[in-house]
Amino acid sequence: MGDSYASGVGTGEQPADDTNRCFRFPNAYPAIMQAGAGPLQPSPLKWNNVACSVNTTSQILAKEFLDQPEDDGKNGIRPVWGDKPEFVTLTMCGNDIGILNLITTCIFSFKLWGKNCEEVIQEGELHRGNAQFFNQITTQCNNVSIKPSWNPLSPQYLTVERRTAMNTLALALNTTIQSAVDAIDPLYNVYYVGPDSQFRGHRFCDQDEPSPNNPSTWFFN
């Protein structure tokens, strides 16, 4: 359950079914774990994917614990939660802190609601967090922009300072989530899993040009 990190946007071929507007891709990490490539050994006899791209915490609570399937008119079919699952993964909070606004403004160089990248980053600092997508040490990205060619606005460049600021948001979010999990009574078997260290060498600006055919590329487009 969770947001786009759990639904796996971009991992494999995009689902053709128009009812799957939650963008549950076939190579999302829950599917890989179910296939036996993760820590679940043996694989669960039955699994259910209720994750939905762009879900906030409130939407997760409202739409991922359903007793009956539901088509909410926007995200397609929402499946039922399931009967007393023994193991659950949850990835969340990116949309609560405005990850879409940050990517749109600082990466794709659009200026929504008249705000520039620094203003959007400041809002992220107030809300705490974002994903750590970047190598913040290399200088090869200082003059790189991922602005679409048809965007008439000036490009936003991935400078060291900007990459560092966005990574700082990610670390703050990780700390906040881990603190919340650590406060839960151990009786409930809730654990924080920090994947960030596994992404070293696979972030934007680790390579000169990320290629979708390179197995070292974990973030692309």
Per-residue pLDDT of the chain (221 residues; tens, 9 = 90+): 999 889 988 888 877 766 678 888 888 888 888 887 666 667 777 888 899 988 989 999 999 999 988 887 777 778 888 888 888 999 888 777 777 777 788 877 887 667 778 787 777 655 444 557 888 998 888 988 888 888 888 888 889 998 898 888 888 888 888 999 999 999 999 999 888 888 888 888 887 666 666 777 776 55
Same domain, residue pair 103 and 191: yes
pTM: 0.74
193 and 133 assigned to the same domain: yes
Tell me the three state secondary structure of residue 76.
strand
Report the C-alpha gap between 118 and 64 in whole angstroms.
34
Q: Note whether 69 and 129 are same-domain residues.
A: no
Strand stretches in the chain, DSSP E: 70-71, 77-78
- Residues 21, 87, single domain; the answer is yes
Position 212 in a domain: no
Answer yes or no: do 176 and 105 share one domain.
yes
Residue 206 counted as domain residue: no
Boundaries of domain holding 186: 99-199
Are residues 88 and 106 both part of a single domain?
no
Number of separate domains in the chain: 2
